[in-house]
């Protein structure tokens, strides 16, 4: 019995992507864009390859997202330093330490 393989369309390594030709500008850096792998909808800013990959890195957690800081008026339980910002909400039943004493206690 001869088995017929249905991979006729996999001649090359990758299927050819349809590219859209045009004359656009990167919304971020102003680089001229002449080819896009998708049809621009017009209501979204276009980005060049570099800015696009940069944005993707940021979204996937490549950089550190700014932490939400909680403002208040506390005192370090160890050295008495005034603390006005904390990266977490103090529970009240635990002593609060300043950054230095916190690092010391962790060691």
Select from 63, 64, 84 the least CA-distant residue to 73: 84
Output the CA–CA distances (angstroms, integers) from residue 71 to 79, 89, 105, in the order listed.
Answer: 20, 9, 23
The residue within the footprint of Zn ion, chosen from 19, 29, 70, 103 (CB under 5 A), is: 29
Tell whether residue 78 is a contact of Zn ion (CB under 5 A).
Answer: yes
In angstroms, the CA 94 to CA 84 distance is 17
Choose between 19 and 79: whose C-beta lies nearer to Zn ion.
79
Q: Give yes or no for residue 101 binding Zn ion (CB under 5 A).
A: yes
Q: Considering only residues 25, 28, 36, 74, which one is a binding residue for Zn ion as defined by CB under 5 A?
A: 28
- Report in angstroms how near the CB of residue 16 gets to Zn ion at its nearest: 25
């Amino acid at each position: 019995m001869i088995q017929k393989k249905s991979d006729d369309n996999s001649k090359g390594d990758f299927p050819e992507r349809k590219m859209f030709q045009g004359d656009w500008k990167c919304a971020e850096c102003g680089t001229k864009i002449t080819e896009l792998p998708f049809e621009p909808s017009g209501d979204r800013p276009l980005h060049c390859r570099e800015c696009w990959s940069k944005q993707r890195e940021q979204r996937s957690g490549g950089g550190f997202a700014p932490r939400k800081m909680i403002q208040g008026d506390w005192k370090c339980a160890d050295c008495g330093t005034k603390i006005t910002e904390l990266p977490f909400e103090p529970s009240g039943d635990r002593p609060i330490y300043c950054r230095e004493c916190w690092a010391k206690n962790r060691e």
